[in-house]
Structure 1
């Protein structure tokens, strides 16, 4: 079996790496602050991020493949090429759904990163299967090394990008994602040999390098445009206040709830509720229900996010599913090893208190200004 001589176009190789960086930055930026967005906007952001990340994996691969130079003419199967793109987008989408609709535990972060790594591998090898007039032959070591690198680096990227959702971590996660995508391709290609194969696949229509280049250029243009769009959010600086009022930071130091607003939905519209107006928050699956004196509102925050934001503002976690505003508690009732907080509103249900928290909650409520009566 005679292997073909292989060379690469350095410029296209470099451009493929740039596209991987831009796609990673765009996709990870699109998923910032989703807990504060209404459900429809959250779903759209995840869909767009899946297209950016999955499409970026595909674009990186085929830009690099356009730089592949063989001594024979070769084509691509258009249907298989399309399947490779859709596979990457769907697997990345599955990972992002896990990250934003399941409780974000260490296991979930690792699983999501692993799914993206598998998506890179699946996209690469399906894309290579679309070659016509030549055939790729892989080595076991190349497949194994590229697989470990893909999954390991993608898990690391997700741990960095989602450990703390800061701009710095998103940039570092972008670097890990781009390195994962590029490493998989070039490590796999280093262990790949090509042989001439005169037979043509009948799975789909043939596509020349020129046609593929048009598709890749278009998709890369979309990714770069989306990158410019999300980059604006990193550059916007709030104008200085000239009203003579205290700066927001000063207000926040004086009252931890002054800057905090809880994003809720009322009749399909997004509204923001001040914590002081909330009696208690109850977990509802992956979301929460916010109870004010007169109404119950849906909130996109999971109970873990609500706990992180509201406990520093003075709320008490009385139960794994309940956060209580002590200012709204009318009385605390305890019967043996059971307890509950009763509120001012006549239609508000009581909030249960876990047995392990009875003493701590009773003491916390008693220390409030205008302490409640313990009965």
Structure 2
């Protein structure tokens, strides 16, 4: 078996690449759940490429620092497969997080898928070595996989437990720790032997060619990280609990134009299918567009509509209002309240319950969120 060491500068560089990738991917998706499906799919795809590419880049930056007493190179096909596996596994984890209701089970599933992707990428990439083969100790594989699963779950739980800036930054650190720790724990449980013959399935990648690929990949990831940071840190006036920051702006399917943070007034509905909601005024029945309604509150067998400075009595019960307004993005936050997420400017967690605050809705400042509705509200607000 061959003795090996690592270049400490390349170890540091690999951790930096993992940090950049984690920040880029996690910050890009801040507020993505509030976007239309098409935009959300695009962001998830970009984040999967950045995070999966970051896992791959971190691995091969570290491998460029691997010092063995023999020459070796990589099989191009297996190396490509390792990158694609990382991207696909991370993409699947992000789909679970952004296209379904977030529950403890779904968050744990996403973290486990991501951890399995990190481990799969590492071992597939190692199998691509030529003229020098790896031997994996069973105990090393088990410990490395356990570390990947545990730290990936920690990263996802931190980053998605609450979608604040602080949580995303801490989740970035946990993601980088998961990728780097898994790699070096696995390397500690790996031995190398000298192979006399190389049998490649694809083109040969020398360390020089691989270094160029890794440099380009790291450069792109760093660039995306810088661009993400512009919007992530760009507005100091918005607190972490504010929903309508630049990165969390509601999409056309939530608010077709404008946002609740727009001082010019409430969002304007551009959908041609806005629902007319009846209300009584001066003995006559009139109608308000669903897009102009910020919230609905139960009032006996009737309900009260809150629109800007005014409130009106609606003949619908709260149950009927929910069944009719549900397709128009209204969500039930309490047995007595429905809200339009496009008007929510802030959400606060208060022990086991929560509160939604409204802007440009003088008739109603806030609405309570019951414990049983917290998950639905957080999913609708993208947090």
| Distance (Å, rounded) in 2 between the aligned partners of 1:205 and 1:261 | 45
- 2:315 aligns with one of 328, 331, 335: 331
Structure ID, larger Rg = 1
List aligned pairs for 1:133-282, cutoff 5 A: 133-237=131-235, 263-265=251-253, 270-272=256-258
List aligned pairs for 1:226-375, cutoff 5 A: 226-237=224-235, 263-265=251-253, 270-272=256-258, 291-293=275-277, 314-316=295-297, 325=305, 327=311, 330-332=314-316, 340-341=320-321, 361=336
| Distance (Å, rounded) in 1 between the aligned partners of 2:249 and 2:275 | 14
Residue 15 of structure 1, CA deviation: 0.3
| Distance (Å, rounded) in 1 between the aligned partners of 2:229 and 2:61 | 24
Contact 1:262 1:274 (8 Å CA) reproduced: no
Q: CA RMSD in A?
A: 3.6
Which residue in 2 is equivalent to 1:73?
A: 71
SS in 2 for 1:195: strand
Structure 1 position 40 matched with structure 2 position 44: no
- 1:21 aligns with one of 19, 24, 45: 19
Contact 2:33 2:99 (8 Å CA) reproduced: no
SS in 2 for 1:198: coil
What is the aligned length?
300
Contact 2:35 2:253 (8 Å CA) reproduced: no
Residue 95 of structure 1, CA deviation: 0.5
TM-score (norm 2): 0.69
Contact 1:29 1:170 (8 Å CA) reproduced: yes
| Distance (Å, rounded) in 1 between the aligned partners of 2:275 and 2:298 | 15
- 1:122 aligns with one of 120, 123, 127: 120
**Cα distance change on mapping 1:233 and 1:201 into 2, 3 Å:** same
| Distance (Å, rounded) in 1 between the aligned partners of 2:78 and 2:256 | 42
Contact 1:277 1:292 (8 Å CA) reproduced: no
**Cα distance change on mapping 1:329 and 1:203 into 2, 3 Å:** farther
**Cα distance change on mapping 1:96 and 1:329 into 2, 3 Å:** farther
Residue 152 of structure 1, CA deviation: 0.7
Structure 1 position 10 matched with structure 2 position 8: yes
Residue 36 of structure 1, CA deviation: 3.1
**Cα distance change on mapping 1:119 and 1:316 into 2, 3 Å:** farther
Question: Where does structure 2 lack aligned partners over 5 or more consecutive residues?
Answer: 243-247, 268-272, 278-287, 327-331, 338-362, 365-383
CA deviation map 1:114-151 (0-9, x unaligned): 00000000000000000001110111111011111100
Structure of greater relative contact order (alpha carbons < 8 Å, 6+ residues apart): 2
Residue 205 of structure 1, CA deviation: 1.4
Residue 295 of structure 1, CA deviation: 6.8
Question: Where does structure 1 lack aligned partners over 5 or more consecutive residues?
Answer: 240-247, 253-259, 279-288, 298-309, 343-347, 352-356, 363-367, 370-375
Residue 314 of structure 1, CA deviation: 4.5
Contact 1:264 1:272 (8 Å CA) reproduced: no
TM-score (norm 1): 0.71
| Distance (Å, rounded) in 2 between the aligned partners of 1:77 and 1:333 | 67
Residue 202 of structure 1, CA deviation: 3.1
Contact 1:331 1:341 (8 Å CA) reproduced: no
Q: Which runs of 4+ in 1 moved over 4 A?
A: 260-263, 272-278, 292-297, 323-329, 348-351
**Cα distance change on mapping 1:333 and 1:195 into 2, 3 Å:** closer
- 2:81 aligns with one of 83, 95, 99: 83
| Distance (Å, rounded) in 1 between the aligned partners of 2:118 and 2:3 | 26
